[in-house]
């Protein structure tokens, strides 16, 4: 493919095991001849005053320019005077929806073999407003903010996603029986959008009941859309159903068509680097890179890579330690490349 | 036993299937010769101005006087100008802790056979403050309130419960990485109480991670204590692990030693009364009545009744429709009585 076909994408390898699993993605993309050129950015070692965090201004500019990126785990350094890396990315890039496809992996046994759902989380407001204060000694309050704009935006994304991905149902998850105004507004916005998509079934499920139904029978759900905190909780619950965060891809969608795919697991400093290196499971980042390719409409490449990852896991010969195997990151990656 | 040994307890049969399952409890208690005399109170058919709800003032007075009660499902009538029945009870009786033992039922198969945990939910504040308002058009906020007093009170209850019930660990569930002040205060209170119980292991688990761990391996948990909304979510999730709300007991603890045991499932109007009567599963209310007996230190009676319920379910000959059987409520109840 000619140079003009090449797409530039930002890569944040992240910390801990991040660089090892990012290397795995780079190798798989090379093997599959994905026409992507990475612009790599590492987390800085001092606070950048323009971002008020350890993220460099250049790295944010890179995502803004490329409109597409991939991000490994980032542990926020401890200390005062700076913002969480993950929250800074969401805020600065206005990443309003976190999308997580969650399906049972063929051949990797958990208690569930019938999971096939998508969680779509509002990613900018709700309980994450950061507005908290002490009212009097011993009494503190925090504000949950729900806006019409952000609720419509994420609802629109969810219904559009359902329609374009052959999904049949959108469930809005809420606690409007208690938070009638905030979650009530969220539901009102979902209903408005639902009317524009008569071909998609719309339902509303209270979060406590939703969690009970998910653990009893996850096949009841298709696409779930919800405010920030419920999305945080339910997307991790769903990841647990299929084996954990090491296996689940995630993609953040921002205003203006930005997509930042992301492995949402931790940076596992204990198995990164010197003594225990080359042990990490790159699956979540690899599947996130597949989400990124789909966002770019590179579906052929996405299908091939996804198929190679799933087959390698299904065969079971090469699995990393977290899945009960003994393969190194590089062996597992090589097995995927051999499948391509 | 002589009349002076008799304990008076309030009984709210509730609506829908409530009276049918309450009848089951009364029959089991008679058969087991439990020295309890019920004071029955039904939900009124008009708003009582003294309670601002359909609950009668007399019924609340009855619980306050007896300090112990059992409650079936209550559906709040739709309409304005009155408060939710469940929330009114919590508020008026200051029911500060909701305690739910959750264990796999021998012989009743779900995807999990290793659940044995207790959820303890703060029941009076947090996201349930009822304080919400519109800031400007399209922007609403709700207040989450955490107080030192309520947090210490529920933490104290949880550690005391762990100690007196042979439990080894208390996990405080939170999202203090985001809500540093509110959930931070909750954790601070838990830590203070933990110091008084050096024999109990104390840990803190972020709610998203907790839900993932619960669905992967619930055996990791023992006693969980948490703010109101997390408790609402996690207690239902845990109920799902063992088969649903129809099987899980619950008990509310109030200031001054009040205990109101409660079946937390719905009133299932579709299978109550005329056409489809006598189909409801009374297990949750029966096991809740066992919790009530334990609270009264009637452990012999509690053990015998619990044993009879669990054996009947384990044998599998008499099961109600929700558990895949064909027994009526009265058949199932009779089978339990035969066990006694
Ligand atoms: C680390 C934490 C702040 C973050 C969140 O709560 O959003 C994480 O749980 C996630 O889901 O990305
Ligand atoms: C019905 C609802 C208001 C209630 C709650 O949220 O507390 C219920 O879910 C419960 O757990 O008792």
Window from A77-86, B157-166, B233-242, B320-329 with minimum mean pLDDT: A77-86
Whether residue B208 and residue A138 make contact (CB cut-off 8 A), yes or no, is no
Share of chain A above pLDDT 90, in %: 89
Q: What are phi and psi of A31, to 5 degrees?
A: -65, -40
Task: Give the pLDDT of residue B76.
Answer: 83
Q: Is the pLDDT of residue B259 over 80?
A: yes
| Residues B28, B251: Cα–Cα separation, whole Å | 19
Indicate the pLDDT class of residue A268, thresholds 50, 70 and 90: confident
- Print burial letters for A205-227: b (CB count within 10 Å at least 16), e (below 16): bbbbebbbbbbbebeebbbbbbb
pTM for the complete prediction?
Answer: 0.95
Q: Which atom of ligand 2 is nearest to the CA of A178?
A: 3
What integer pLDDT is reported at residue B3 of this predicted model? 47
Residue B273, pLDDT score: 62
- Determine the pLDDT at residue A275: 56
Q: What is the pLDDT of residues A282-319, one digit of tens each?
A: 999 999 999 999 999 999 999 999 999 999 999 999 99
pLDDT at residue number A3: 47
B140 touches chain A (CB under 8 A): yes
Which of A127, A184, A217, A220 to probe the B interface (max B CBs under 10 A)?
A: A127
CB contact under 8 A, B175 and A232: yes
Mean pLDDT of B281-287: 97
Which of A53, A86, A122, A266 gets mutated to test ligand 1 (max ligand atoms within 8 A of its CB)? A86
- pLDDT surpasses 50 at B242: yes
CB atoms within 10 A of CB A285: 32
- Would you state the pLDDT for residue A269? 75
Q: Are strands A258-262 and A251-254 parallel, antiparallel or unpaired?
A: antiparallel
What are B111-165's pLDDT values in tens digits?
999 999 999 999 999 999 999 999 999 999 999 999 999 999 999 999 999 999 9
Classified as helix, coil or strand, A5 is helix
Report which of residues B15 and A268 the model is more confident about. Answer: B15
Report yes or no: A35 at the B interface, CB cutoff 8 Å: no
- Per-residue pLDDT, B2: 46
Contact of A284 with A267, CB cutoff 8 Å: no
Confidence of residue A1 (pLDDT cuts 50, 70, 90): very low
Dihedrals phi, psi of B99, to nearest 5 degrees: -115, 125
Q: Who among B139, B145, B241 is closest to A145 (CB)?
A: B139
pLDDT at site B275:
56
Res A112 pLDDT > 60: yes
Distance of alpha carbon B287 from alpha carbon B310, whole angstroms: 9
Return d(Cα A182, Cα B68) in angstroms, integer. Answer: 36
pLDDT band at A5 (very low <50, low <70, confident <90, very high): confident
CA-nearest residue of chain B to A139? B147
Cα-Cα-Cα-Cα dihedral sign, residues A320, A325, A328, A330: negative
Q: SS3 string of A18-84?
A: HHHHHHHHHHHHHHCCCCEEEEECCCCCCCECCCCECCCHHHHHHHHHHCEEEECCCCCCCCCCCCC
Q: What's the CA angle centered on A330, arms A324 and A334, to 5 degrees?
A: 100
Q: Distance (Å, rounded) from C-alpha A174 to C-alpha A185?
A: 10
**B326, two tokens:** 């064909």
B244-255: pLDDT as tens digits: 999 999 999 998
Give chain A's mean pLDDT.
Answer: 94
| Nearest residue, CB atoms, A212 vs list B146, B229, B240 | B240
Q: How far apart are CA A17 and CA B3, in angstroms?
A: 71
CB contact set of B297 (below 8 Å; sequence gap of 6+): none
**What tokens does B272 get?**
């109550």
**Which residues pair with residue B39 across a beta bridge?**
B10
pLDDT at A65 over 50: yes
Q: Would you place residue B1 in the very low, low, confident or very high pLDDT band (cuts 50, 70, 90)?
A: very low
């Amino acid at each position: 493919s000619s140079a003009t076909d090449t797409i530039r994408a930002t890569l944040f390898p992240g910390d801990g095991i991040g660089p090892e699993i990012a290397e795995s993605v780079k190798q798989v993309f090379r093997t599959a001849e994905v026409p992507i050129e990475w612009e790599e950015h590492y987390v800085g070692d001092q606070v950048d005053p323009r971002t008020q965090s350890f993220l460099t201004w250049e790295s944010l500019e890179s995502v803004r320019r490329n409109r597409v990126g991939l991000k490994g785990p980032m542990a926020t350094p401890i200390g005062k005077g700076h913002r969480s890396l993950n929250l800074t990315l969401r805020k600065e890039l206005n990443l309003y929806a976190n999308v997580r496809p969650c399906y049972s992996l063929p051949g990797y046994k958990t208690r569930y073999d019938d999971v096939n759902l998508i969680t779509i989380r509002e990613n900018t407001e709700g309980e994450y407003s950061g507005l908290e204060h002490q009212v009097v000694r011993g009494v503190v309050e925090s504000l949950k903010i729900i806006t019409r704009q952000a609720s419509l935006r994420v609802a629109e994304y969810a219904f559009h996603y359902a329609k374009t991905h052959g999904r049949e149902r959108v469930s809005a998850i809420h606690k409007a029986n208690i938070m009638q105004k905030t979650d009530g507004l969220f539901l009102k916005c979902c209903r408005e959008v639902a009317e524009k998509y008569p071909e998609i079934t719309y339902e509303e499920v209270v979060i406590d009941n939703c969690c009970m139904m998910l653990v009893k029978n996850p096949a009841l759900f298709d696409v779930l859309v919800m405010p920030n905190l419920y999305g945080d909780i339910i997307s991790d619950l769903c990841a647990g159903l299929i084996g954990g965060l090491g296996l689940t891809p995630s993609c953040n969608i921002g205003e203006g068509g930005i997509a930042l795919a992301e492995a949402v697991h931790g940076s596992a400093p204990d198995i990164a680097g010197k003594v225990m290196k080359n042990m990490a499971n790159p699956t979540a980042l690899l599947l996130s890179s597949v989400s990124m390719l789909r966002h770019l409409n590179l579906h052929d490449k996405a299908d091939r890579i996804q198929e190679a990852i799933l087959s390698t896991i299904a065969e079971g010969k090469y699995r990393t330690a977290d899945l009960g195997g003994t393969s190194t990151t590089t062996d597992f990656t090589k097995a995927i490349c051999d499948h391509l």
